[in-house]
Structure 1
């Protein structure tokens, strides 16, 4: 049996390929290579929260000014003021950033694959089934101290850099006693009533697991009979049939749905901490925090086929329950102000439970017949991220043997993380309703897959470690900072999926009546069970290893001029191997081994290169009426590599939009040249203004395009374009107004172009990049009362239409339409310890819409999804 144990052998093969780059040697290995023993997250200095957006903005200005490369920051208090519950929602406020699916960040018009996300400088795994990047809705904003979005590359960052690099910097130990409690309630206007369904908990039944091995993946009654007889067991045909029926009975078939009222949103946060002076030089600190929230959301969808939207479409009622739990423990020690060590542990759990009922028509089932196809779907998904990090920050100081080395500092980090996702129960039943005879009772489809049960498992492990040393040197009153360090990560991923199909010849009835225990136990009724994926292989294992050394010189030539140069040597090794869980003959693995011997194989890659950067900064005073200003120019060369999911020769369903996606093992990395010119102007009272020009030249950009599918079904895949470019201008500012008002916001205006001549299927060989928006606007009008008891904000966020996927076969590109989000937040502080917050989101009641023009010139709204307005009330007490 090709079980999970055997899959782990293939996982070790993938890791070996990624680690050694020697295909022939890796095939012989059967154990995961020994992991490195070093890794750690970078330490954070404490940020003192002083209570208002203007103050927080001023506290982060110093760090932005000191960096030689362009970056934007978002502090905890600004996030809290905006009422953003997740990191993804908070990042919408950053210049040039758009949020997609409430999970993924697009920076400067480049998709999520062009964004590199770290936590305290460390690589972390992703529990997302559809992407290798981290879904940012997973992280609650309550654990964040600040967010850093770096838009021009420096050698301390991984070379995998496109639009920008996001570093989630978690909260450090407190400097004194901390205690806070927060409770909240909320609701969504589209989610008052929704689909309630019976419990679909559980996992793949043990009986099914055992039968897969015993009967070699063939669960037909005839094969069960043959194997039992071959092993000398006396058995009749009816007894073999009953064994098969018992396997069907072991499956959870509780998918009955009904319209019911939905519970309101809830959230609870608790934070406790303190610091203790052990001696004059030694301080210890600790904190523990926990957060819980849950919500129901209706995400009803309408889909239309591009070829015949009037006759081929579907309407889906979708209700999704989501629950998040977070526990964070932080321990820290500081000695003599020059040495600090911090240990952090985070456990984040996310549970989703979905019920979906769909009615639709197709070219094979005309509207005029009034016999819509129906689909009952229940799906449970459990995501978990466990992250442990230890970091240190040290300066030689009084321990230095030489006075010239007193300012030598070292920061280091180690991180070990595991992300898992389980779909222990995903059931789908298909049928038809004949409204000409019976408008209510469905006919379950008579096919080999009338009922389909999916079981998926993802395990992503990442170990990462690194460090950085820095030494300032005085040269005739001018400062030269010499720095260097190392950065490593090792990743293994296992994605396994089974699909169990149950067929029947029954006709009239709902899923729960057709697939009832009594009917299944009656051998006069026809039922069958088979194993398969439905649309191709969906399991794979992968390994990835990155090792890097970097160095740089930062020279302040004069008080005004500063030049920074750096380089990074990075070695990248990766392997992605498909897994056939139903191969009991060994043929699949023999063929895979032969393919791995081919010099042109695409399963494993290994390369190394040197990536360099140059930055020139001019600082001055009293220009454009500013108190202080900086102008920076930077240029760098980076790379964006395909993620593991895009390279895997497997297929999967994107759970958010319910479309099929196929990987492409032939994808190549994108080489990028980055140019950035930025001017920053700072004024009295915290006012500031920033303008940036940027240009990126892309070689072999990766694009998501429409794949080969039917007119009734959207299929997506990936390919490399020939070349591409993106360029634009960004404006950002904060302005204090009379009467306690202030205005902040940012605008990005940009354009892009990609050329694809190597694929004859693509309709537009020259167009904008997938995911690119020509403009992004984030604006906030804030108010702080003179007595500091009231504050309010009006927040607006919108981006122009962007290409969702590139059209093929004469169909135009599909565009996601602008989503204008208008939010209002009000805070009331009756005492120094109590606060009350009210937030209303999506006041404009915008919905997600996708449009595509077909080959006949008709503009089709291929997908619509409701969002609704949300209202939240939160009460907090803080010591």
Structure 2
């Protein structure tokens, strides 16, 4: 047996050598003519009349082992003209066949179905774009978002290097720089904010169902508006390609804190679908016609339902129309437990408000989008996008405890019922025209409308006494109803012409000049009215009347109002004042006209882009508010010249070295310059009309390597120097209100980022089972001057400060950020079925939320780590299931005041776990 076994091995070895020697090899590289002969991955290589085929790798390379003979190779890629090449194969030899593919002469019959799924939704395709692009940027596509269980854009960008999400909001921090330093676009065109207090729109409202990918540019180039220091988030809407489909998605979801609430109640009135809009009642100062204050018990079980469809249609010999539409509704409940809230804490750590904190909420999102693309011919393409999003947030915040001068015995009680509704309508028209082999003309225009309303926010302050509660009316605003309306319209235009020059011996252009115009025209109208309800003490006092907090309608009603139990007034006065119902208002106008020119040139392995942008900015703000009842206005003008330089050096086929240098600026926002008071729960903010723009200087140096199509290793060093930085600061006053100021002459930040994506284990060459991992880590150091004299002088004494320290960190800046994920992918049933399971972890270290004054320390959000588990399965060609569990560690979210005597806990709570189960069916 031993002899026979050896003989068999020798025989098989000789046969295998013989077979190998009888075969030949066809290999080569495919390149993309439309991208200046960059490598073309994932293209099809097929031997005509056989089943022998291959796909090119990330570097465009392919290899086929075949028997000797004459063949015809077919090279194809979706959207490109197929090419056939004859080839003769000789035994034991390698034949090299390189090929350039072009979109010229493309027709639908040339599409190879196997490649049709390749798009910028795929991780590998986005990594390829990152590798080939001259700009320094990151992108995250629909495939990666699905794998990580991300359902909205704010969650998407928080998975990328150097970015964190602000707790409880959709706002993000890029390299420690918050809302004011960032910008948001959709398909390259700006979109307005849906929040009166924010520059950027809440990214939570954008479902990942509507996006192809999200691009994050942290390095400036002249195509962007100059109000840029942290980064620009560009939401790229789906551009459907492929066969027609119709898909149904449904999901159920719970928050463990919410379902654990024995009595989950919210104010009665708002509809479950989030389209309610309460208005100021008739005769509000002379009659009590306000909505009920009663609470309605809810069953805190959320979910979502969505429909989406897409198809493409051939028009003539060269034309094609592509359509994609989606509509979805989702809702969710949330609760924050074990809550603590302190306010007006002095340097000794003594709190003016020492309360527990309870929070319940119900949120909705209704989204509808239609995208239409018309490829007229190979040289002309037009796209139209329209998107409508309606969101609502209903919240109930309650606190019990000590309030200085109002509840010195610790018997205070505060409740605020809040309902916010916003609807956004985005309309975009974009075009691309190839005027000649050298010249391409791109254009785009948008018209956007945002309406944001706070219809009937209620605020009540009471004291617990023997037998129940009494209303505290020591100050009229202690019990109030608040109505706010914001409407913003924005028109934007992008125009650019790119001209290629300097053709080399291979017929490729080494240089390109791009010149263009950007315009942005924004208008905001804001009004707010607050009705204050003060319990009367004369001629009969009702300040001691016992009330039921859960049925305040028994006290606040028309009968009691007619019997003088309480009075109603605005900040202007009661019904006796002629203009008492005139709301507080402010309006803002922003006009930006910009011209830019970019020159790109390739010096063999080095490519340089030199840009210059000129902008003229005009921002007007006018107001008539409780802080300034006579009204006033303020104008900010700025002309900015913004140079930029980007260098890319190709170390080899898989490695790049990049450098970015630029100058930008940071504008104050409308609400920051309008003299209006913004009331938050236990906190108030007001605007500073003397605020002005900062100037920013930016530096980036990055090394990156792409070992395989879905792998990446990169290291980045960056630095920013900001002149006259703007900060949120506590005003030196008895109320400890917050305002905004240019708090010093300078500020700077420096740091490093590391990103690593790796396929850790593959079972076979078809990748039917594989384990992948990802890790990105960021370290940041920031410092800025804090100068009381500068603030007092520039605000003409209206914003007195007393900074505890002469220097400090940027607000929102974490020293350390970390994202990590581990995914296992398994495929079976002829690739019709699969399962992906992912564990994802996110961590940010301590970060300053507000600068300390009057010997008080900074307010600091303490470090938090979150762990999520995601499982998604495609059971067959049509049916899919998902299970997602987020915030598995359920850490306590804390904010402290870092006093010299020790940290004082200002706020803390737990969010609970969010668990969802979903299914999808595609026809």
Q: Show structure 2 runs of 5+ residues with no match.
A: 1-110, 271-275, 537-541, 574-581, 763-769, 792-800
* Contact persistence 2:179–2:199 (CA under 8 A): no
Match of 1:722 among 718, 742, 745: 745
Structure 2 residue aligned with 1:65: 131
1:355-754 equivalences under 5 Å are 355-365=396-406, 369-370=409-410, 372-396=411-435, 405-434=436-465, 437-438=466-467, 440-445=468-473, 448-449=476-477, 451-477=479-505, 479-505=510-536, 506=542, 507-510=545-548, 512=552, 514-517=554-557, 519-520=559-560, 523=563, 525-532=564-571, 539-558=585-604, 560-580=605-625, 588-589=630-631, 592=632, 603-621=634-652, 628-654=654-680, 659-710=683-734, 715-739=738-762, 740-754=770-784
1:792 is displaced (CA, Å) by 0.8
1:773-784 equivalences under 5 Å are 773-784=814-825
What is the alpha-carbon distance in structure 1 between the residues aligned to residue 891 and residue 207 of structure 2?
24
3-state DSSP of counterpart to 2:282: helix
1:449 is displaced (CA, Å) by 4.3
Q: 1:474 to 1:824 in 2, by over 3 A?
A: same
Structure 2 residue aligned with 1:76: 142
Structure 1 residue aligned with 2:164: 98
1:338 is displaced (CA, Å) by 2.1
* Contact persistence 1:483–1:551 (CA under 8 A): yes
3-state DSSP of counterpart to 1:433: strand
* Contact persistence 2:116–2:242 (CA under 8 A): no
Match of 2:915 among 871, 875, 878: 871
What is the alpha-carbon distance in structure 2 between the residues aligned to residue 303 and residue 50 of structure 1?
54
Q: 1:640 to 1:54 in 2, by over 3 A?
A: closer
Match of 1:325 among 347, 351, 366: 366
Structure 2 residue aligned with 1:278: 315
3-state DSSP of counterpart to 2:156: helix
What is the alpha-carbon distance in structure 2 between the residues aligned to residue 316 and residue 727 of structure 1?
37
1:318 is displaced (CA, Å) by 2.0
Structure 2 residue aligned with 1:353: 394
1:337 is displaced (CA, Å) by 2.5
Q: Paired residues, what number?
A: 757
* Contact persistence 1:723–1:755 (CA under 8 A): yes
Q: Which moved more, 1:779-788 or 1:54-63?
A: 54-63
1:783 is displaced (CA, Å) by 0.7
1:200-211 equivalences under 5 Å are 203-208=278-283
| TM-score scaled by length of structure 2 | 0.78
Deviation digits for residues 799-855 of structure 1 (CA, Å, limit 9, x no counterpart): 11110000100001110111211101011221022211111100110232111033x
Deviation digits for residues 520-575 of structure 1 (CA, Å, limit 9, x no counterpart): 2652x4321111289x99531000011111111111011x1111111111111101
Match of 2:177 among 105, 110, 128: 110
Deviation digits for residues 234-276 of structure 1 (CA, Å, limit 9, x no counterpart): xxxxxxxxxx2xx2x2122x22337x45331111111012111
1:375 is displaced (CA, Å) by 2.0
Q: 1:459 to 1:366 in 2, by over 3 A?
A: closer
1:730 is displaced (CA, Å) by 0.5
Higher relative contact order structure (alpha carbons within 8 Å, sequence separation ≥ 6) = 1
1:138 is displaced (CA, Å) by 1.7
What is the alpha-carbon distance in structure 2 between the residues aligned to residue 605 and residue 513 of structure 1?
47
1:360 is displaced (CA, Å) by 2.5
Q: Which moved more, 1:284-293 or 1:197-206?
A: 197-206
What is the alpha-carbon distance in structure 1 between the residues aligned to residue 279 and residue 609 of structure 2?
56
Q: 1:365 to 1:429 in 2, by over 3 A?
A: closer
1:576 is displaced (CA, Å) by 1.0
What is the alpha-carbon distance in structure 1 between the residues aligned to residue 118 and residue 251 of structure 2?
21
Structure 2 residue aligned with 1:43: none
What is the alpha-carbon distance in structure 1 between the residues aligned to residue 562 and residue 121 of structure 2?
73
Deviation digits for residues 507-527 of structure 1 (CA, Å, limit 9, x no counterpart): 21125255253642652x432
Whose helix proportion is higher, 1 or 2? 1
* Contact persistence 2:401–2:407 (CA under 8 A): no
What is the alpha-carbon distance in structure 2 between the residues aligned to residue 703 and residue 793 of structure 1?
39
3-state DSSP of counterpart to 2:630: helix
3-state DSSP of counterpart to 2:159: coil
3-state DSSP of counterpart to 1:291: strand
What is the alpha-carbon distance in structure 2 between the residues aligned to residue 188 and residue 533 of structure 1?
43
What is the alpha-carbon distance in structure 1 between the residues aligned to residue 256 and residue 117 of structure 2?
32
What is the alpha-carbon distance in structure 2 between the residues aligned to residue 468 and residue 449 of structure 1?
53
What is the alpha-carbon distance in structure 2 between the residues aligned to residue 582 and residue 97 of structure 1?
37
Structure 1 residue aligned with 2:39: none
What is the alpha-carbon distance in structure 1 between the residues aligned to residue 524 and residue 243 of structure 2?
41
* Contact persistence 2:119–2:125 (CA under 8 A): no
* Contact persistence 1:275–1:285 (CA under 8 A): yes
What is the alpha-carbon distance in structure 1 between the residues aligned to residue 704 and residue 686 of structure 2?
44
1:48 is displaced (CA, Å) by 10
Q: 1:514 to 1:316 in 2, by over 3 A?
A: farther
What is the alpha-carbon distance in structure 1 between the residues aligned to residue 911 and residue 826 of structure 2?
33
1:747 is displaced (CA, Å) by 0.4
Structure 2 residue aligned with 1:39: none
3-state DSSP of counterpart to 2:145: helix
Q: 1:49 to 1:677 in 2, by over 3 A?
A: farther
Whose strand proportion is higher, 1 or 2? 2
